[in-house]
Amino acid sequence: MANLKFSQFTEKTDPANVKFIVGYDGTSNVRITPDNIAKAFSINDVGIWFQTGTTSTSGIVSPRTDGWFATNTVKYTPFQANFENLVLTSGFTYKLIMERYIKGGTETIPENRSANKTTSFKRQKKGAGSFATSPYDSRPVEIEITSLSQNFDFRSDLYFSASTSGPNTAFPRPAGFTKPTDQRNTTRQFVAFRISKTNDASSVTETSQVLAKGQILGSITELNQLGDPTINWKFN
């Protein structure tokens, strides 16, 4: 191998295009395959740190036209997630999963059935078994990870009520939550993030523990940019 500085090496981002990674073990030259490096890290070892802009610089106008949203313009922000200790190995599909914090208790759900709920972070069911109605059934619950630094749009606007049936029912009231006793100009919803890793050949999926937490902040105060209702992220 030529005597080159690291700055002169050709950068690769796909482990499938690299046969070996070289290094030193004391005074010995050694090599290891990317697959063996990946095996050394569990998806529970992945670190995630977030970057997010403001609604004035990177805000997206909500496309919702139901209820309260039909006559109000709301901007929300996506976020950028940066992953540490994650190797996107060829032959596997990785996804970022978002779950919302739900308080326990007994509630009435569609079809006049009751359910006892435990307090925890919960992932919304999709398809069969889901009781979410439109437009809430279109919330992205998991998004494929294709890069170690990637923008994600979990449609945070779909986590707020559009009700116009009475006082204290509309934005920024969280969707699916009990109506507060007074009108609130700001609200927060707590969310958690996990990563899933699916073997494309066997369809076996491994899901991590909670790796990061954050908040969805809804505001309707006049202190916001341009005075419009806004939805932003805050990460722990």
**pLDDT, tens digit, for every residue of 20-67?**
666 666 677 777 666 666 555 689 999 999 999 877 777 899 999 999
**Average pLDDT for the chain:** 84
Q: CB–CB of 186/151 below 8 Å?
A: no
pLDDT score for 165: 86
The band of 72, judged by pLDDT with boundaries at 50, 70 and 90, is very high
Distance CA 109, CA 122 (A): 16
**CA–CA separation, 71 vs 168, rounded Å?**
17
pLDDT at 76: 95
Q: Give the pLDDT confidence of 116-175 residue by residue, as tens digits.
A: 567 899 999 887 777 789 999 999 999 999 999 999 999 999 999 999 888 778 789 999
Query: What digits encode the pLDDT tens for the residues 163-210?
Result: 988 877 878 999 988 888 887 889 999 999 999 999 999 999 999 999
Per-domain residue ranges for the chain?
A: 43-235
Q: What are phi and psi of 46, to 5 degrees?
A: -70, 135
Helices (H) then strands (E): counts for the chain: 2, 16
Say how far apart CA 224 and CA 138 lie, in whole Å. 27
Instruction: Tell me which residue of 226, 150, 158 sits closest to 191, measured CA to CA.
Output: 158
Report pLDDT for 116. 56
CA–CA dist 207, 195 (Å, integer): 6
Sign for the CA dihedral angle at 191, 197, 202, 204 comes to: negative
